[in-house]
Homo-oligomer: A and B are copies of this chain.
Amino acid sequence: MQFGRCYEEFEVGALYKHWPGRTITESDDMLFCMLTMNHNPLHIDANYTENTQFKQPLVAGPLVFSIALGMSVGDVSGKAIANLEFEYVRHLGPTFHGDTIYAETKVLDKKLSTSKPDRGVVTVETIAYNQRGETVLSFKRRVMVPTKAHDAVRLRAREEKIAAARVKR
């Protein structure tokens, strides 16, 4: 199974459709809000939301964002050395309890490091959309990833460590 990508494996213009999607349940959202101290009644008070624009609770934006990002790890940042920054995170539509979110990522740019040629920075945009085809979120981020040669060295070090530990047994 491929998990993440090395610098050479990113092609500017490529589109990665992440799989699988994720239905965001009421339970997910309540747990997330409590875990992150987000007590906005828009997310946790169903009675309050009856008097708001959508007349029902909205899934907390950071949960939609975090899931879309999580979905992209296997295709984008699973081998990352560092996640540098998000240039923007835009909420483009509401997510309600029971909605299913899918995500896809486009490669916008890549640049090999001049000071450390064993790594490079990749710029991608990820969008999340729901079962009704509505785009609900987009974000642009920069990730530092290893070259194939660097990744191979890391992999060999991990394998040798495990092998040595097993020999000792």
Interface of A toward B, CB cutoff 8 Å: 3-4, 22, 28, 31-33, 35-42, 47-48, 50-53, 60-63, 65-67, 69-71, 73-74, 77-78, 80-91, 154, 157-158, 161
Complex Cα gap A74–B44 (Å): 14
6 more A-B contacts (CB under 8 A) besides A28-B35, A39-B70, A82-B91? Answer: A35-B66, A36-B66, A36-B67, A52-B81, A60-B66, A62-B70
Indicate how many identical chains form the complex: 2
Contact of A88 among B51, B81, B86 (CB under 8 A): B86
B78 to A41, Cβ gap below 8 A? Answer: yes
- Interface on chain A toward B: helix, strand, loop, or mixed SS? mixed
